[in-house]
Amino acid sequence: MLRQIIVTLCWLPLSLLALTCQADSVEPAAAQTGAVPARQGGALFKIQRAGQSAYVFGTIHVGRADFYPFDGKVLQALQQSTSVALEIDPGNTQGLASLMTKYGIYTDGKSLAQELPQPLQNQLNPLLEKYGLTPAAVANMKPWLLATVLGISEYTYQGYLPQYGVDGTLAAFAKSHDKPLVELETAEQQLALLGKLTSTEQIQFLQDSIDEIRDPEKARRSLQLITLWRNGDVEGLTAMLAEMTSDDTFTGKFVQRALLDERNPGLANGIEKLASTTPHAFVGIGMLHLVGKSSVLAILQQRGYTVTRIY
Interval 25-37: pLDDT, tens: 333 344 344 555 5
Length of the chain equals 311
Residue 137 one-letter amino acid:
A
CA atoms within 13 A on the CB side of 75: 18
Query: Strands across the sheet with 181-183, in order?
Result: 181-183, 83-86, 281-286, 52-59, 44-49, 306-309
Stretch 55-61: mean pLDDT, rounded?
Answer: 95
SS3 category, 249? coil
Where helices occur in the chain by DSSP H, the ranges are 2-9, 12-16, 27-31, 72-80, 96-104, 112-115, 118-130, 135-138, 143-157, 166-176, 187-195, 199-214, 216-222, 224-231, 234-245, 250-254, 264-277, 296-302
Residue 80: exposure state from Cβ atoms within 10 A (0-12, 13-18, ≥19): exposed
Write the pLDDT tens digit of every residue in 67-112: 999 999 999 999 999 999 999 998 888 888 899 899 999 999 899 9
Q: Which residue has the higher pLDDT, 260 or 288?
A: 288
Do 9 and 288 contact (CB within 8 A), yes or no? yes
pLDDT of residue 55: 98
Q: Give the H/E segment covering residue 59.
A: strand 52-59
**250 CB contacts (<8 Å, ≥6 apart)?**
201, 204, 205, 208
As a whole number of angstroms, the distance between CA 268 and CA 306 comes to 14
Quick: pLDDT tens for 153-205. Answer: 888 888 998 889 999 999 999 999 999 999 999 989 988 988 889 999 999 99
The alpha carbon of residue 20 and the mean position of all alpha carbons in its chain are separated, in whole angstroms, by 17
Q: What is the per-residue pLDDT across 198-220, written as a single tens digit (0 to 9) for each?
A: 999 999 999 988 998 888 877 77
More confident residue, 149 or 283: 283
Mean pLDDT of 271-292: 94
Is the backbone peptide bond immediately before 265 cis, with ω within 30 degrees of 0?
no
Q: Alpha-carbon distance 148 to 309, whole Å?
A: 32
pLDDT of residue 32: 45
Q: How many angstroms separate the CA atoms of 269 and 275, rounded? A: 10
Helical residues (DSSP H) of 2-92, grouped into ranges: 2-9, 12-16, 27-31, 72-80
Query: Model-level pTM?
Result: 0.89
Q: Compare 242 and 122 and report the one with higher pLDDT.
A: 122
Q: What is the pLDDT of residue 27?
A: 39
